[in-house]
A and B are shown apart, each in its own frame.
Chain A
Amino acid sequence: MRRVLGLVPVLLAAATIVWIFVFLLPGDPARLIAGGQGADPEVLESIRHEWGLDRPAPIHYATYLGKLLLFDLGTSYIQKRSVASIIAAHFPPTLILATAGVLLASVLGLVLGSLAALHRGRLVDSLILFLALLGTSMPVFWLGLILMLLFASRLSWLPVLGYGMEGAVIPFTDIRLPEWNHLILPAMTLSLASMGAYARITRASLIEAGTADFLRTARAKGASAARVFARHALQNALIPIVTLVGLDFASLLGGAVATEYVFAWPGLGRTIVHAIGLRDLPVVEGGVLFLTGIFVLASLVVDLLYLVLDPRIHYSATG
């Protein structure tokens, strides 16, 4: 509970920092709302008044925080609908993409890392380490294009880009799922970068946890090697991986912008970047704050997962 309460000042600080950055952006939102050049001064004035842009900064800030306390993220200057509804529309595609990316990365990372650890020092090991390094060091933007050129343009196995228009709609919501084949390339792009890191950490953790010793002992006792590997070695190695996956997942939710851009994915990151260009400030503030919240929550979940994974760790009531 204390840890949960501890999130409040973090979010408050984040809200303030976001507000300051947004406040410092050059340019006049009212002018962009009114259509830039040739804007009627009367229209400009009425827009400034309507959105409170004519009020001094401290009052603006106070209003912003006040609304936040009521969970009101405001209304988009441009789209003229609530920021909450914009987040609700664009977060699901990002969440789906990040989930697919992280799942793919974790599975691949764990498998490759384990293989490398088990074949430590041999050719398989070196090959996997090389691949891992390659994945981590390739810029996502470039990687995405390469995958697109190969699998979509050349081989025509997968769609080039987009979310698709005909995916299923989740009942009782407005959320439409992507068409599954549209998801593959962007998810692969996202996962390849993380996969490298997971594989290396898995390998390192397994080696450190003395996998080889476990296995030797287990074999000596006549136990199944696979069982020992899963029960003892892998579980020990899992803690750093969970931390990494959790934080990675959280940052992918906001940091998938490059992938969203290359594949024209209708996600939240792209929406926020777009909003910055339009000086649609409520969307920028609300979006960034929402992602901060998600990040903080994800960290909390990771901490709680430790409890499950390692009985030695427990958070006492006194902190």
Chain B
Amino acid sequence: MQRPGPRPSLSRRARAAVLVPVAMAGIAFLACSREAGSPKRAEQVFRFRMHEDPPTLDPALSNDQFSEAIILNVNRGLVELDPETLEIRPAVAKSWTISPDHRTYTFQLRDGVRFHNGRAVTSQDVAYSFRRLLKKETQSPRRFLLEPVEGAQEFTDGKSAEVKGLTTPDDRTVVLRLAKPFAPFLSQLTMANAAVLPKEVYDDPAKAYLRAPVGCGPFRFARWEQANFIELLAFDGYYGGRPALDRAVVRMIESRTSALQEYIAGGLDSLDETPDETDTAMRQKVGQEIRKYPFMGTGYIGLNLSLPPFRGNAALRKAFNYAVDKTYLWGVLIPGSNIPANGIIPPGIPGHDPDLPGYPHDEAKARSLLAQAGYPAGKGLAPIALWVNSGEGNRQIASQIQADLKKIGVTIVIREVDWAAYIAAVSGTHDSPGQAQMFRFGWYLDYPDADAILRPLLHSSNWGPAGNFGRYKNPEFDALVDQALALTDPGERAKLYRRAEKIAVMDDAVWIFLNYYQAETLYKPYVKGVVLSPLGEFRLPLERLRIERSAT
């Protein structure tokens, strides 16, 4: 998923907040003890903040962290990703088998799964939801996650009334047959878009579900007042047991300063932004409550390989990489929230290569490569435009890169525009590159697999607006990434990803490799069961949270 900013950038795609875990057993225990406990128990409410309303609560349309943060608590799919361990776990399906040829996935549904409207979930609901996701009229931006299923494209194109590879032999069984083996398939099914939905709600022509979603997750949707709040209530009939929280409230607050005041005043139990390191007074107040943890994302400066001067000039791209002082950038200028990157695949993802040399700051090397590239001391190189979407953090990064490159004689012009204008300048169309020669970008992985970053950003099949904005095309790289998808042995796959990454980083220097993300969030000490997920601050398994004020 795209993330146009480093930590401090506030674009709508940027951050959100949150949370936390306790084992399932813990929840079951709590659920029991609560019922047995005193009837006067205080209501358990957890309040957290989002910058703005989620664009949608329709799982099929969701394409951003805000929407997912809600959907993943209201809805459930066949399988789910444990936000802490990153394991794929049973959800609506209690178990599954994969055929020896890695093409047939057979899911057994759990008994006793109910939608919030009380109806039992059957395999028909799964089939309905998957067909809905694939349907052209649904206009889902994430239709691709079911694309590996045999006959999916024909169904979308209207050439077939059924999805050939999707069958439901009985009420409790769903069979998915893939056109060819596809390793991350199960991972993709954990995404919010693959949620199981009740037909009677989602076929409503008045589309009431847009404002009042229904699912089978631990929380049922209660109220949504735009630009104000979203309220979720514990679902008594949740198959995993009623959550400890009675209520979760998401409050829409754009201003960071205001949100911090509200957090300190006690109107929020968690906040996805922390005071600047330089704001010592505030740091003192809430410093104890800051949680820091790495999460799966990579920040970089994209280089447009279809435009001069980067086209066909790897030496120039390497020169730029050596010129930028990442240690200063993330250690001194914007301390605390990012780790300098040596490449593309972030730590924690199979395939991450701690031994990849990358491009440590080396001005002398940068100068000599610049000369080798045909621009000794920058002579003959016209000013280059570096595009960023508006935001304090992006501005700081851009200025630092400008200053670093100035030292080797390269002139950078910064173009700061809002997100919509930025994405237009960066993506261009399939046939003509956008006008941005350089652009700051960030990417958070949707699921823990190197394919979730190498393919969308660098595979030639995603050329141009589809995600490969830099228009990188290297058949050797493509082949390795494709090969890795068909393998199922994790070790073998990781090897291939390392080789692919090395080509893109050390041979082709496709970007300026900047940072791996690190999250910082605030939690009040009475919030227990917090999960600091490598999937980002907005992966909030609310069902694991509980509130323990002073009592214990």
Contacts and interface: CB of A to CB of B under 8 A. Distances in A.
Nearest to B390: A277
Interface residues of A, number: 53
Nearest to A50: B139
25 contacts: A26-B424, A27-B420, A28-B424, A29-B420, A35-B63, A35-B64, A36-B13, A37-B469, A39-B141, A41-B465, A42-B156, A78-B56, A80-B210, A90-B226, A152-B265, A153-B261, A159-B265, A161-B253, A162-B253, A163-B225, A165-B228, A262-B255, A263-B258, A266-B225, A270-B227
Contacts of B210: 79-81
Counting chain A CB atoms within 10 Å of each CB, the highest count among B140, B423, B430 belongs to B423
A266 B252 CA distance: 9
Interface string B461-484: 010011101000000000000000
Contacts of B253: 161-162, 264
B226 A31 contact: no
A90 B258 CA distance: 21
Contacts of A165: 223, 225, 228-229, 231, 249
Interface string A202-243: 000000000000000000000000000000000000000000
Interface string B128-152: 0000000011011111100000000
Contacts of A90: 226-227
Contacts of A261: 254-255
Contacts of B252: 264, 266
A145 interface: yes
Interface of B: 2, 12-13, 52, 55-56, 61, 63-64, 136-137, 139-144, 156, 207, 210-211, 223, 225-229, 231, 249, 251-255, 257-259, 261-262, 264-265, 267, 417-425, 427, 430, 456, 462, 465-467, 469
B139 to A, nearest CB: 5
Given A39-B466, A81-B210, A161 B261 contact: yes
Interface in A161-189: 161-163, 165, 176
Contact of B55 (A145, A270, A278): A278
A32 interface: yes
A38 interface: yes
A277 B456 contact: no
Contacts of B427: 31, 37
Counting chain B CB atoms within 10 Å of each CB, the highest count among A86, A264, A266 belongs to A264
B424 A27 contact: yes
Nearest to B419: A277
A148 interface: yes
Contacts of A163: 225, 228
Contacts of A39: 141, 465-466
Contact of B227 (A81, A271, A276): A271
Interface string A35-65: 1111111110011001000000000000000
